[in-house]
């Protein structure tokens, strides 16, 4: 006798134990209420009346067709052409913390480079004892590690500097992904070349037509950076930098050079386009923050969200979201239902490592009244996610980058959700 056997007393206990919540959840359903037979149970369904496809139908598996809406999306007005553009991770449709490879947002400045692995070269030169060139096979002979990290574009949520703009969490917060990378510590590769004592900075350059280049302080390069060739176990996707990208944990996405082809050691930064004209934060007084690398603690509720209205009426409601910090681990996340009058400690699910996405949940009993939902992350340094207005007071309105303010979703009595801001 097993737990599935109707005569099993354990099964009866389970059913009885679950009745309270179960009754509340099905209360609104006609079939359950009337006692009429549910044809989905009583009638033979097509998926039962014949076999499905065989194991050769999908040598590389794809999502089930009912999930065809779960895709990256872009906004047409972002740029004149999609070769220099961004698309957004569908955060509203995901749970847990890892982003599936096919759903990782893309930000390309000159389209996706396609590099045959045998043609890949990584050059290391400048202030080194021995300039070196690595092939992909060379890199794969060095000691390897795997770590999960978030990558957030500095422009994520940037549209919201001037007030609520985008009515969907995919567009307000979707320039982020969280991937388990396998690769070689950058410091192993730099040590092989022998860094000269005068070296202070590293130039990382991509092999794409944009030749995207950024200056990185040597201290960070020798710390936790990876030269990665796997994402979530498989080869990098072309759009994520196949065959090799730089992983710069906790720092703005722009420095995570894709299609990495060159590392140059120097004694000062290079003043590349992406660290002067772009990816700097123009302040109210006309000066600019430069090299604002770290992505500060941030969080967002992914359900309910504009794409995830409450459709089940009052009763048990699962509030879920993501929290992250470029300075390390998330210590706690608080959630408010009333625009910040009362805060409740959310439950952090599982133990996320430093500089990675954390999943949080808060289970509540919704009374059907309108809500003003917010989440607020605190990281291990004690930094508390600020309000958007606090950030505006500090940095003015000129910036398009580093907006990590608290997001507000208004839930109306029908369960509809919209992007709002409290004055």
Give residues in contact with ligand MTE (CB under 6 A).
104-109, 151, 153, 177, 206, 208, 210, 212, 239-240, 253-254, 256-259
**Nearer residue to ligand MTE within complex by CB, 106 or 160:** 106
The nearest distance, CB 159 to ligand MTE, in angstroms, is 15
Residue of 253, 269, 386, 405 interacting with Mo ion (CB under 5 A): 253
Plot region of 315 (φ>0 → left; ψ -120 to 50 → alpha; else → beta): left
Number of residues engaging Mo ion in binding (CB under 5 A): 4
Calculate the alpha carbon distances from 2 to 12, 17, 91 in Å.
12, 18, 39
**Torsion of the alpha carbons at 149, 152, 154 and 159, rounded to the nearest 10:** -160
Work out whether 246 is an interface residue with Mo ion (CB under 5 A).
no
The entry of ligand MTE, Mo ion, none near residue 104 (CB within 5 to 8 angstroms by kind) is ligand MTE
**Nearer residue to ligand MTE within complex by CB, 189 or 246:** 246
Residue of 199, 182, 188, 206 lying closest to 123 (CA atoms)? 206
Which DSSP state fits 127? S
Where does this chain touch Mo ion (CB under 5 A) — which range of 176-184, 197-205, 251-259, 355-363?
251-259
Work out whether 258 is an interface residue with Mo ion (CB under 5 A).
no
Residue of 153, 190, 335, 403 interacting with Mo ion (CB under 5 A): 153
Q: CA 227 to CA 231: how far, in whole Å?
A: 12
The nearest distance, CB 224 to ligand MTE, in angstroms, is 17
| Residue nearest ligand MTE, CB atom distance | 206
SS3 per-residue string spanning 265-305:
EECCCCCCHHHCCCCCEECCCCCEECCCCECCCEEEEEECE
The nearest distance, CB 409 to ligand MTE, in angstroms, is 25
Phi, psi for 239 (deg, rounded to 5): -70, -15
Q: CA 135 to CA 95: how far, in whole Å?
A: 37
The nearest distance, CB 276 to Mo ion, in angstroms, is 15
**Nearer residue to ligand MTE within complex by CB, 239 or 379:** 239
Where does this chain touch Mo ion (CB under 5 A) — which range of 5-13, 109-117, 145-153, 227-235?
145-153
Residue of 170, 178, 213, 254 interacting with Mo ion (CB under 5 A): 254
The nearest distance, CB 347 to Mo ion, in angstroms, is 31
Which DSSP state fits 338? B
The nearest distance, CB 235 to ligand MTE, in angstroms, is 14
The nearest distance, CB 278 to ligand MTE, in angstroms, is 8
Q: CA 351 to CA 259: how far, in whole Å?
A: 31
**Nearer residue to ligand MTE within complex by CB, 109 or 147:** 109
Residue of 92, 107, 173, 376 interacting with Mo ion (CB under 5 A): 107
The nearest distance, CB 142 to ligand MTE, in angstroms, is 22
Q: Tell me how crowded residue 340 is: count the other CB atoms within 10 A of its CB.
A: 15
Q: CA 251 to CA 219: how far, in whole Å?
A: 13
Q: CA 217 to CA 221: how far, in whole Å?
A: 7
The entry of ligand MTE, Mo ion, none near residue 201 (CB within 5 to 8 angstroms by kind) is none
Calculate the alpha carbon distances from 185 to 124, 181, 188, 254 in Å.
14, 11, 6, 19
The nearest distance, CB 247 to Mo ion, in angstroms, is 15
Work out whether 359 is an interface residue with Mo ion (CB under 5 A).
no
Where does this chain touch Mo ion (CB under 5 A) — which range of 58-66, 149-157, 213-221, 402-410?
149-157
Q: CA 320 to CA 409: how far, in whole Å?
A: 13
| Torsion sign, CA atoms 132, 135, 136, 138 | negative
Binding site for Mo ion (CB under 5 A): 107, 153, 253-254
């Amino acid at each position: 006798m097993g737990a599935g056997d109707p005569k099993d007393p354990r099964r009866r206990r389970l059913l009885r134990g679950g009745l309270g919540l179960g009754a509340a959840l099905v209360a609104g359903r006609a079939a359950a209420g009337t006692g009429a037979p549910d044809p989905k149970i009583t009638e033979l369904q097509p998926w039962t009346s014949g076999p499905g496809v065989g194991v050769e139908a999908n040598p590389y598996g794809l999502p089930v067709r009912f999930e065809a809406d779960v895709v990256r999306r872009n906004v047409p007005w972002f740029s004149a052409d999609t070769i220099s553009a961004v698309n957004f991770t569908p955060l509203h449709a995901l749970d847990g913390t890892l982003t599936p490879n096919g759903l990782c947002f893309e930000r390309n400045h000159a389209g996706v480079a396609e590099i045959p692995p045998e043609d890949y070269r990584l050059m290391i030169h400048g202030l080194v004892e021995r300039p070196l060139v690595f092939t992909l096979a060379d890199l794969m002979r060095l000691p390897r590690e795997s770590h999960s990290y978030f990558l957030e574009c500095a422009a994520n949520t940037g549209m919201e500097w001037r007030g609520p703009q985008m009515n969907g969490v995919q567009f307000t917060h979707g320039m982020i992904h969280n991937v388990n990378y396998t690769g070689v510590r950058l410091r192993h590769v730099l040590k092989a070349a022998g860094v000269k004592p005068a070296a202070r900075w590293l130039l990382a350059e991509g092999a794409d037509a944009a030749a995207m280049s950024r200056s990185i302080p040597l201290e960070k390069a020798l710390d936790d950076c990876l030269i990665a060739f796997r994402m979530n176990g498989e080869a990098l996707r072309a759009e994520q930098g196949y065959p090799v990208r730089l992983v710069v944990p906790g720092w703005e996405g722009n420095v995570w050079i894709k299609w990495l082809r060159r590392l140059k050691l120097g004694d000062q930064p290079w003043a590349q386009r992406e660290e002067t004209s772009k990816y700097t934060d123009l302040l109210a007084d006309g000066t600019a923050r430069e090299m604002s690398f770290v992505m500060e603690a941030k969080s967002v509720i992914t359900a309910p969200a504009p794409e995830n209205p409450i459709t089940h009426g009052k009763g048990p409601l699962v509030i879920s979201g993501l929290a992250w910090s470029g300075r390390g681990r998330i210590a706690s996340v608080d959630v408010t239902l009333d625009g910040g009058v009362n805060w409740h400690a959310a439950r952090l699910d599982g133990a996320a490592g430093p500089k990675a996405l954390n999943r949080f949940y808060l289970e509540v009993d919704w009374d059907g009244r309108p809500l003003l939902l917010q989440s607020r992350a605190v990281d291990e340094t004690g930094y508390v996610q600020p309000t958007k207005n606090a950030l505006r007071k500090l940095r003015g309105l000129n910036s398009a980058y580093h907006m990590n303010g608290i997001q507000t979703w208004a839930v109306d009595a029908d369960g509809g959700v919209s992007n709002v801001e409290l004055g």
